[in-house]
Copies of this chain bind each other. A is one copy, B any other.
Amino acid sequence: MTMGEGALAPQHPGHEPGADASAENFGGRLAEHVARRQSQLVLGLDPDPALLWPGALKRQDQAGAGHGPPAVLAAGAGHGPPAVLAARAVAGHCRLVIEAVGGECVAVKPQVACFERLGAPGWEALQEVIQVAGEAGLLVIADAKRGDIDVTARAYAQAFLGETQTSFGTVPGLGADAMTVNPWLGADAITPMLAIARERARGLFVLVRTSNPGAADLQELRLQDDGTVSDAAARLVHRLGSAGSAGSAGSARAAGRLSDVGAVVGATAPQRLERLRELMPRTPMLLPGVGAQGGRIEDLGAAFTIGPAGGLISASRALVEAYRTDGGAPAVAARRVAASLREQAWGLVSP
C-alpha cells in the first residue's frame, strides 16, 4: 500500500486524519514525501510585513474571492485596521512564494513569530498559509520552538498538531504536520507533545544544536561526564523517537525506518554533524542556516548517510530575497535559487 494524497495532507478544520495517516509514523511519511518529490528543500516562511513581494495584497484578494478565507481576513477586504491589512498581505505573500517555489520543495516551515506579531488576524493568516501549503502537497513544519511543563506542552501540541475539547465542541488546531520544540525543560516536557503528534502520524523537530553563534553559550558547554550539552540533547532525542513498528512492509522499507522525533541541527556547524548523526542514527535532521547565515549544502553530507530524508535543507531569505541581488521578478529569481539548492542537496544522495 502506498499512501494517498489524503493521508499526507495536513489536517484542516473539521477534517479528521484518515486511517492511513494513523497507520504510519511521521518518519515514514517524511521519507515518502522526499522520495516522491525528489527534494529535501524546505521553504522557510518568515514574512516581514514591511518587506513583502509586490502584489501580495492583490493576490490575497483574488484568493478571497475563490477560496473563502477565514472571516477576519475576508471581512476587511480593501480596508480595515493595520493588523488586518498586514495579515492579508502576509497571507498573499506566502501564497505567491509557495506558488513560485513550492514545486521545488518537500515542505514549508512557517515561522510562527512572524504571524503572531500581527495578533488574531496574523493567527488566521497562519492557518490559511498552512492550508494553502497542504493543498500544494507540501508538508508543514510549524517553526514554533515551543517547550513547557507537561500540561502546557500538551496545550501547545493541541494548538499546532491536534485539537482541543471544550464545553462548546472540539476546536481544531492549525493542522501542521510537525512542529519545532525546545528541549531545555527535558523529556517530560516533550512526551506530552509527542503523544499527540504520534496519534496522528505527526512529528517533532527538537532543537539539538541551533545555527546561531549563541548556541555556544549553553548547547556547546562541555559536560563532566562526556561530550557537550547538545550531545545530551541528541541522546534524549534518539531515546524519545520511534521509527514505528506498524505500517505496511512497503512503506516501512520506503521510510528507511526514520524516527518521528527529528532534530534541528544548524547547517552553520558542520563539524558537529558527524557526531550528532552517530548519536541519532534514525533521526531526520532539519538543517537551517544555509545561505544568509553562512551554511553550505556541500558540508552537510553526514546528515544523509541514513538516506535521502535524513536531512532537510531549510532556506528562506536566500529564496525570497534573491530578486534584490539577482534582479528580475521575485518569483523567477526565487525559483532559480530554489531549483539550484534542491539539485545540490539531491546530489548529495544521488551523485
A residues whose Cβ falls under 8 Å from a Cβ of B: 46, 49-50, 52, 70-72, 81-83, 85-86, 89, 111, 113-114, 116-124, 127, 143, 145-153, 155-156, 158-159, 164-171, 173-174, 182-190, 207, 210-219, 221-225, 229, 232-233, 236
Copies in the complex: 2
Whether B72 and A120, one on each chain, are in contact in the complex, defined by CB atoms closer than 8 angstroms, is yes
Instruction: Given A167-B89, A168-B89, A182-B184, answer yes or no on A159-B217 (Cβ-Cβ < 8 Å).
Output: no
When distances are taken between beta carbons in the complex, the residues of chain B under 8 Å from A49 are 164-168, 171
Whether B232 and A207, one on each chain, are in contact in the complex, defined by CB atoms closer than 8 angstroms, is no
When distances are taken between beta carbons in the complex, the residues of chain B under 8 Å from A190 are 214
When distances are taken between beta carbons in the complex, the residues of chain B under 8 Å from A184 are 147, 182-184, 207, 210, 218-219
- Complex alpha-carbon distance, A223 and B228, angstroms: 9
> Apart from A50-B166, A185-B207, what are 7 other A-B pairs with CB-CB below 8 Å?
A46-B151, A114-B155, A118-B164, A119-B127, A123-B123, A182-B184, A185-B215
- Complex alpha-carbon distance, A211 and B185, angstroms: 9
Whether B223 and A210, one on each chain, are in contact in the complex, defined by CB atoms closer than 8 angstroms, is no
When distances are taken between beta carbons in the complex, the residues of chain B under 8 Å from A174 are 119
When distances are taken between beta carbons in the complex, the residues of chain B under 8 Å from A152 are 46, 111, 113-114, 143
Partner of A123, one of B52, B119, B145: B119
When distances are taken between beta carbons in the complex, the residues of chain B under 8 Å from A145 are 146-148, 182
When distances are taken between beta carbons in the complex, the residues of chain B under 8 Å from A182 are 145, 147, 182, 184
- Complex alpha-carbon distance, A167 and B56, angstroms: 12
- Complex alpha-carbon distance, A82 and B82, angstroms: 27
- Complex alpha-carbon distance, A151 and B320, angstroms: 15
Q: A321 → chain B, closest Cβ, in Å?
A: 12
- Complex alpha-carbon distance, A11 and B146, angstroms: 25
Whether A148 and B82, one on each chain, are in contact in the complex, defined by CB atoms closer than 8 angstroms, is no
Instruction: Given A111-B155, A145-B147, A186-B215, answer yes or no on A165-B50 (Cβ-Cβ < 8 Å).
Output: yes
